[in-house]
Amino acid sequence: MKTATELEANKELVRAYTRTDFNEHQTDRAAEFLAPGLKWNGGTLGTVEGVDSVAGLVRGFVARLPDLTATEQDIVAEGDTLAVRLVVEATHRAPLLGIAATGRRVRWDACDVD
């Protein structure tokens, strides 16, 4: 069982990752925040495995959505589990996931659990 201090430190790590990579667009730093053995499950997008692959995915999203921001809605940590719910917003400026750039604003809810 983690202490309250450890749980708060984990929350701050997630917040730093969100701030650095998604809001400040310092995607070259993504690997600093990711754990070995990482698997990102993107539903219909499939699963991406490994720090380098997930960091590349982050770089790709931010490159195609250059004004992307992620706003924390909720963050919960208990035991060895942490969950964060975000609202992600951006302008679709370049082709993404096979969809040509539209120039329109996009928004989606994201939930990450570790």
Burial of 31 (0-12, 13-18, 19+ CB in 10 A): middle
Inter-residue contact 95 to 23 (CB < 8 Å): no
Rounded Cα gap, residues 6 and 12, in angstroms: 10
pLDDT tens for each residue of 87-113: 999 999 999 988 999 999 999 999 999
pTM of the model: 0.89
pLDDT tens for each residue of 41-72: 888 888 999 999 999 999 999 999 999 999 99
Locus of tokens 């925040």: 33
Tokens, residue 31: 């690997």
Q: At 24, is the pLDDT very low, low, confident or very high (cuts 50, 70, 90)?
A: very high
* Helix (H/G/I), strand (E/B), else coil: 45: helix
CATH class belonging to 4-113? alpha beta
Residue 17 has pLDDT above 90, yes or no: yes
